[in-house]
Amino acid sequence: MECNLMSDKINPNPDENINVQREPMLDIIEDDNSISITVELPGVDKENIELIVEKNLLTLSATEATRRYHKKLQLSSEVDPETAEATYRNGVLDVVLDKVKKAKTKEPTEIIIELESKFKRLGEEKDKIITELQTQLKEKGNLADDYLNKLQRIQSDFQNYKQRVATEKEMDIEKAKEELILRTIEVLDNFDRALEAGKQTKGKNALLKGIEMIHKQLQDVLKLECVEPIDAIGQKFDPELHEIVFKEFTDDQPEDTIIEEFQKGYTYKSKLIRPAKVKVVKPKSEEKKEK
C-alpha cells in the first residue's frame, strides 16, 4: 500500500529546463514505534511537494523555480502508510510514520519455558481427567457389584421358590394318591365282604348284589375325582368322544347312530382321557364301498 501526500498540487510535467537537485538536506530520527523524517526545502511552496510512502520506501519530490528536489529513501523498517502525518512550515517538511509492529521473535529459552508450562498444564489436566475417570470407574464398579448381588439374590430366591413349588406339588400329588388309595381300599374291603357272603350263602343273588354295590361305589369314587363316563348307546357318533370299532350297514336307523358299546369312555375334568369304543350305523349304500 502506498500513500501520496500533497501530490495533487504537483505539476506532473515539470519544465525540462528545471535543474534537479537529488540530495535534499534531511534528518531521520527512529525509535521503537515510529520514524520521523525532517527535510529542508527552502523556497518551495507546499503545493509543489510530493511525498509517496510504500512500506519501507519513501519518495520525495519538490519543485521550486528552476530547481527540483528528488529523493528515494529506503527506510530501516516497514511502516504503515495509513499512519503518515506530514507538516510543512518555514521551508521544513516533517513526516512521522508508525512502524508496522512485527511479532517479537522469542528466545529459545522463552520457547522452552512456554513449552514446559504447557506440558505441565497438560500433565495436570491429564492427571485430573485420569482421577475423574478412576472415580467414575470405581462408582460404576460399585454399582455393577450391587446389581450382581441383587441378581444373585433374585436367582437364589427363584431357585428356592422352584424347589418349594416342586415340593408342594409332589406333596399334593402324594396326598391325592393316598386319598384315592384309601377310597380304593374301601372298595376292596366291600369286594372281600361280597365274596365272603357269596361263599357262605352259596347264592348268586347275594354275590350279584354285592358286586353291583361295589360297582356303584367305584363310580362314586371316580365321580368325586371329576371322572365322568361318556354316553354312547343311542347317541350320534362324535369323533371327539367315540372310536368306531365296528359298523353295521342298515337303513333301519339314522346314520352314525351308536348301537353298541364295547368299552366305556371317560372324561377327566371335561377332558377326554379314553374314548368309548363303539359300533355305529352306516347306510347300506356304503357297504360295497367298504369292501
* Model pLDDT for residues 61-117, shown as the tens digit of each residue: 888 777 777 878 888 778 877 888 888 888 888 888 888 876 666 677 877 888 888
What DSSP assignment string belongs to 64-118?
ETTEEEEEEEE-SS-B-GGG-EEEEETTEEEEEEEBPP-PPPPPHHHHHHHHHHH
User: Which of 98-112, 218-232, 243-257, 260-274 has the weakest average pLDDT?
Assistant: 98-112
Sorted by sequence, the CB contacts under 8 Å of residue 103 that are 6+ apart come out as none
Contact 2, 52 (CB under 8 A): yes
Can you give the pTM of this predicted structure?
0.40
**pLDDT tens digits for range 7-61:** 333 333 344 444 444 466 778 888 878 888 888 887 788 888 888 887 778 888 8
pLDDT of residue 277: 93
Q: Among 117-121, 165-169, 233-237, 249-253, whose mean pLDDT is lowest? A: 117-121
- Give burial (CB, 10 Å; 0-12/13-18/19+) of 90: exposed
CA distance linking residue 70 with residue 62, whole number of Å = 7
φ, ψ of residue 4 in degrees (nearest 5):
-110, 105
Decide if 83 contacts 98 (C-beta within 8 A): yes
C-alpha cell at 80: 504503515
Torsion angle of C-alpha atoms 10, 15, 19, 20, degrees rounded to 10: 40
All domains in the chain, ordered by first residue: 2-98 (2.60.40.790), 227-290 (2.30.22.10)
Does pLDDT of 137 surpass 90?
Answer: yes
**Mean pLDDT value of segment 273-281:** 93
